[in-house]
A and B are shown apart, each in its own frame.
Chain A
Amino acid sequence: MLSNKRISLKGPDLLAEFEDNWQTEMGAAIIGKERVVLRGKDLLSELSNHRWMELIVFSITGEESSKLARLLEGMWVISTSFPDPRLWNNRVAALGGTARTTGALALSAASAVSEADAYGLRVTTRSIDMLFRFKKNLDEGAKLEDLITREFKKYRVVSGYGRPLVSKDERVQPLLRFAKSIGMGAGPYVKLALDISDYLDKSRYRFQINVSAVISALMADEGVPPENLSYFGIFAFISGMYPCHIDAKNKPEGTLFPLSTQRINYTSEHVHRKWISGGKI
């Protein structure tokens, strides 16, 4: 926690107070003492037997939860590990392979691309936020139908419902089955997500639930705030990206979905123009 003195400082005084003075509870490598501390625990002894996902959960939240870690692992296996280079973020990983860049450059770019509006991290972040807002409003007496109509009016989307290419999402039932197998998936937010799905399916919108809403609901039932869900998901797609990248790297260079010049559809009328130096006057 920052002291009151530090909080009250402003401008250059604030920066001067922090110069060579980073005080943190998060952790550090105690150089020369063979110790590493993470959130008050010794990484090399107290945390050394943790599974990687358990450590990630602890790093992000400061709380230890094997259950949440297991749920996250299952969620990413089922919902975000498709090894298909046609998917937009995976295709970045594959293009990196066909253009012979490094694995880290290709996969980090592909991961950054996963923070998308049409799929991926922005959808789950908005979906869990919507579920929290809906639940609060419903508890205060609002009607689900009104909330959905308002959401559509304001944002033209109900995050977590509908899908870019197909309507039905094949991942929903396997993920719900997995959650059930580890004693989860029966909370109020999963019920709310399915209630929204029922309503949309029968309404004029005809949208079906996609896996983002299920992920968001499972996380909401665990009390995960939107910000943490977006952190959890940063590398959710990585397992599907590796094969796309490796496959393209192992095939002849430049052969991933090559495009001839005819594959460019120039939609303006082609008028051959001549440049006049100095630009327009």
Chain B
Amino acid sequence: MTEADKNPQREQITTKIWREEAEPDNPFAASTCYCSGYDVYGDLLGKISLIEYIWLLFKLEPPTESQAKIFESLAVALANPGPRDHSVRAAMNAGVGGSTRASALIAAISVGAGNLGGSREVYTALQYWQQCGTDLATWQEIILNPPKEERADVWPEFEHTPGFDPNGASCPTPVKQLLDHLCSIEGTDTLQWLQKHRSDLQNYSQTPLSFSGVAAAAFHDLEFQPEQAEIIYLFLRLPGAAAHALEQEKTGFSRYPFFANGLTLTNDPGPIPENA
């Protein structure tokens, strides 16, 4: 008998992730919380690592040792995109003005959600992996003739190959280091193929591989769906945004770039006469 059968008169949240038992004195407080059958506070706490718990929430099964290693390495690599990254800069803009701390993370999430280096890029790149797999000819075709959405959407259209940096020169060392490290772990067939054919793909797109491209390949090896990869990539990049926002909050806007001489107005009408 399901919970719904017991209380047919009340609407319920339907979930395969979470089950709760109530405290005897309060139906609105849980005495036990189960995540996919595991007692979170009675069993997992103290045994499970954070990365394993995140995996469990999305997959409902424990990771293998190598899956946990890949996922953890990816999380470390993404945790701080650095203070030049658009999403971190967005967070720091909240910090320097003394905005709410939540707004710093909202800013990082919103800006870091986009097509350029953001989670939408990972979502789309993972769709490419699902479509092309490890077939070089299919990759060449999709890079040279990317799919176009017939309908308009709130998302802008891609202006570059997802997973590659349109403003890059050669593939940056940290991107190669991440790729090499992940390839040293078992269960990384996609990443190893990417390592082998990186130059081919870069030649097709005329742009170097980026972190989002390595992340998408890793998510493919870990068998995450594009929407899972999109949302996981978003929160894995938040620690750095948070730390940098707090640091700039203390430093203040006077020691943060304002680009005072960086803007040129090309159609300034000039002062309007008072009697005009």
Q: A residues near B, CB below 8 A?
A: 10-12, 14-15, 20-25, 27-28, 30-31, 33, 35, 37, 39-42, 45-46, 101-102, 104-105, 108-109, 112, 115, 121-122, 125-126, 128-130, 133, 155, 226-227, 230, 258-268, 270-281
Q: Answer whether residue B173 sits at the interface, using C-beta atoms and an 8 A cutoff.
A: no
Asked if A130 and B264 make an inter-chain contact with CB atoms under 8 angstroms apart, the answer reads no
| Contact of B62 with A280 in the complex, beta carbons under 8 Å | yes
- B residues engaging A (CB < 8 A)? 2-4, 6-7, 10-16, 18-22, 27-30, 34, 36-39, 43-44, 47-48, 52, 60-65, 67-68, 100, 102-103, 106, 110, 150-154, 167-169, 207, 259-269, 271-272, 276
Whether the pair B259, A22 counts as a contact (CB closer than 8 A) is: yes
Residue in A closest to B7 when the chains form the complex, CB atoms? A262
Interface of A is mostly: mixed
Pick from B62, B103, B260: contact of A104, CB under 8 Å? B103
Given A21-B264, A25-B266, A275-B152 contact (CB < 8 Å): no
11 A/B residue pairs, CB under 8 Å, sorted by A: A11-B167, A12-B168, A108-B103, A261-B30, A262-B3, A262-B12, A263-B7, A264-B3, A264-B15, A275-B48, A280-B65
Rounded to whole angstroms, the CA-CA distance of A186 and B28 in the bound complex is 54
Selected from B19, B30, B168, B271, the residue in CB contact (under 8 A) with A11 is B168
Cβ–Cβ contact B43 & A263, under 8 A: no
**Does A24 lie within 8 Å of B263, measured CB to CB?**
yes
B170, closest chain A residue (CB): A11
Expressed in whole angstroms, the minimum distance between the Cβ of B121 and any Cβ of chain A is: 18
Could you tell me the distance in whole angstroms from the C-beta of A196 to the nearest C-beta in chain B? 16
A273 to B36, CA, bound (A): 8
Distance in angstroms between the alpha carbons of A133 and B152 in the assembled complex: 10
- With A155-B151, A261-B28, A262-B3 given, is the CB distance from A11 to B169 under 8 Å? yes
- Most chain A Cβ neighbours within 10 Å, of B14, B38, B151: B151
Beyond known contacts A20-B262, A23-B266, A275-B47: 17 more, CB 8 A cutoff: A11-B167, A37-B265, A40-B269, A104-B103, A105-B100, A105-B102, A105-B106, A121-B154, A126-B153, A130-B151, A258-B28, A264-B20, A265-B13, A265-B15, A271-B37, A275-B62, A279-B67
- Give complex CA distance A6, B161 in Å: 21
Taking a contact as CB atoms under 8 Å apart, the answer to whether B263 and A262 are in contact is: no
A105 to B151, CA, bound (A): 31
On whether A274 and B265 interact (CB within 8 A), knowing A122-B154, A259-B13, A265-B3, the answer reads no
Chain B residues lying within 8 Å of A21, measured Cβ to Cβ, are 262, 264
* Closest A residue, CB atoms, query B10: A263
Contact at A260–B264, with CB atoms within 8 Å? no
Q: For A20, give the chain B residue with the smallest CB separation.
A: B262
A275 to chain B, nearest CB (A): 5
Nearest A residue to B16, CB-CB: A268
Q: Is the beta-carbon distance between A275 and B43 smaller than 8 angstroms?
A: yes
CA distance A128 to B100 in the complex (A): 37
Are A40 and B267 touching (Cβ within 8 A)? yes
Given A30-B265, A35-B271, A40-B267: A265 touches B12 (CB 8 Å cut-off): yes
> Known: A101-B102, A261-B30, A265-B13. Contact between A28 and B151, CB under 8 A?
no
